[in-house]
Amino acid sequence: MAQLDPQHHSQRLAQLDVSTDLFTLVLGMALEDVRGCTDFDAPAMRGFTFWSRTNRYLAEILVPDGWAWTSKNSILRVIHPDRTHAITAISADGAVGDLDKPVRSKNPKGPAMARMVEKNGQMALLSRDEALYGVELDELPTWCLLYKREEEEGVIRAELSLPVKMNGKFVDEWLTRIPVALPSMEDPGFDISLDEPGDDQGPEVVVEFLGEN
């Protein structure tokens, strides 16, 4: 896949009514929230916070401009005012931003994400979601804002990409990938993990039933 010039990538983002400045802002604000986590938080708190806040800040900025927001099936999405596409942020693994190398979702995804991915690029159908969003959400092309922290460099890389297939539980095939040229937003010595929660993560609760004495 050829690496195109940054101006082309900016124009492609603009066609989707987003920009590098927007993603720099929301990722930067999410990173500041992660800085407030400590070792006394749950082990997955940093990743959960970054994922949740990135999606939250996208919504807080875009919804006043006419975008819609949904958390249906625990997929946090903002929906374009024209109902042409949606965007969700997830952590990634691989060469984020490098179109010559593969990239995939960092954590396994469930059946709701699989249905969404398989419908990308297909014509939207009317359904029960139309009353709220004007379109069936599973039929709406949904772009993924992929992010990854390069530990050695201490930088965050990102791209906006349209998934079309999952192999197993990972999203790893893309129709279009648009690199996002982020400026440096953190110190190399800042040791954090930005992995979002996967489908197999969550608190483990042991419930013990005691018989009558």
Tens digits of residue pLDDT in 154-209? 688 999 999 988 888 888 899 899 999 988 776 544 556 676 665 543 333 333 33
pLDDT in tens, 1-31: 445 577 889 999 999 999 999 999 999 999 9
Residue 133 has pLDDT above 60, yes or no: no
Residue 23 token pair = 């993603």
pLDDT in tens, 76-94: 999 999 988 999 999 998 9
Instruction: Give 64's DSSP letter.
Output: G
Residue 59 token pair = 């919504």
Number of helical H runs and strand E runs in the chain: 5, 7
Contact status, residue 168 vs residue 104, Cβ threshold 8 Å: no
Phi and psi dihedrals of 63, rounded to 5? Answer: -60, -40
CA 95 and chain centroid, separation:
16
Residue environment code for 47-77, b if the CB has 16+ CB neighbours within 10 A, otherwise e? bbbbbbbbbbbbbebbeeeebbbbeeeebbb
Domain residue extents for the chain: 6-180
